[in-house]
Amino acid sequence: MTYVDMVFPFFLFIVGMSMPLSVAQRLRRNPSLPALWGHVLLRVLGLLVLGLILANAEACDPAQMHISGASWALLALLSVGLCLNVYPKSDAFPAYPRLLRTGGLVGVMLLLAIFRRVTPAGHSAWIDFSYPEILGLIALNYLAVSFLYIPTRRRNWMQPIWFVLLVCLNVFSTAKMLLFPNQLSLYVWPFGNGAMGSIIVAGIIASSIFTGEKAARNPRRAMGIAGCFAILSLAIGRALTPLGISKIRATPTWSLYSIGAAVLIFGLLFWVCDVRRQTRWAFFVRPAGENTLTAYLLPDLWYFLSICLGLTFIDTHFTTGFPAVLKTLAFTLFILFVSWALTRSKVRLQL
């Protein structure tokens, strides 16, 4: 396990941290629970469609579709972007957001309809749902945790209980004492083996620790509680190492180590940014924070566009050693710059 294996868990952790804030904000706008669940389902559907597009792009069969996989994926992502963009109001043409979203939706439906791939057995097939990519995994686990969190959101003491139950599910599944979580599809049992759900619930717990009046009045107490939570997660993860440390198998140690690291890192950021009020140093990542989904999809858009244009230099040069590190840093800064430019141009994707 390396730090790279904690990138995806950190996404899940932040999903959990944002859930109490986003749910409370949405209920303030509209106290209807059916409306809230409708928004949850739309968000899950949007992320799932994006994930399936990314997961199936390289499986496209140009002979059947009469379009390359890169072109199909690029058009599909741009169509989804039209649906998800937050459009500024226009007094001169107030209906334009609806027209653009409708056009994007029609484009997505047409592109999904024409998709064809060839199975290992040589048969023609449609979308492969077996692996919905990272965005799809986030969507399904977000849905699973929503079933737990939304009905019990007013009872903070329930969140540690859900966390313990999900960790136990993860332990017993990995130890093969429970077989059904690994036998059922995520579409049927979105909790999986409990690992990803436990990371999201850990984010919910961290959110309750670091936000609110108690944290504002006594930040040291909040950091102390968070530190104990992190150390306990790391210690239990260490004790469970006989079950393996694997992101692919989503073992308990992988998830608990990731939780401990996420809580400690966020605790440090809380101290620097919220307590010490030192935020200017983070100016270069602000575009990604303000326009997260756009920033996440930009590397994929660049990848498919470069294939369509036949640009191979970046992929074939500076691939090892220090030059590769510099190339990675340069590409990251490039994506942050494009995120900033798109945000300034009122292009912001939001679910």
% pLDDT > 70, the chain = 100
pLDDT digits (tens, 9 = 90+) for 112-171: 999 999 999 999 999 999 999 999 999 999 999 999 999 999 998 999 999 999 999 999
State mean pLDDT over 225-250: 96
* Residue scoring higher pLDDT (90 or 152): 152
Query: Which residues fall within 8 angstroms of residue 300, CB to CB, at 6 or more apart?
Result: 54, 73, 77
Per-residue pLDDT at 316: 86
The pTM (predicted TM-score) of the whole model is 0.92
Per-residue pLDDT at 52: 96
Per-residue pLDDT at 315: 83
CA distances from 249 to 136, 140, 151, 338 (A): 17, 17, 30, 35
193 pLDDT higher than 90: yes
Domain ranges across the chain: 3-59+131-278, 286-351
State mean pLDDT over 337-346: 92
For residues 303, 307, 312 and 317, what is the CA-based torsion angle, rounded to 10 degrees? 20
Of 11-20, 58-67, 245-254, 307-316, give the lowest mean pLDDT range.
Answer: 307-316
Per-residue pLDDT at 2: 87
Mean pLDDT of the chain: 94
pLDDT digits (tens, 9 = 90+) for 56-88: 999 999 999 999 999 999 999 999 999 999 998
Please write down the long-range contacts of 222-228, taking CB distance under 8 Å and 24 or more positions apart. 222/270, 223/267, 223/270, 223/271, 226/263, 226/264, 226/266, 226/267, 226/270, 227/263, 227/264, 227/267
Contact 234, 256 (CB under 8 A): yes
Of 155-169, 223-237, 250-264, 306-320, give the lowest mean pLDDT range.
Answer: 306-320
Per-residue pLDDT at 123: 93
Per-residue pLDDT at 317: 86
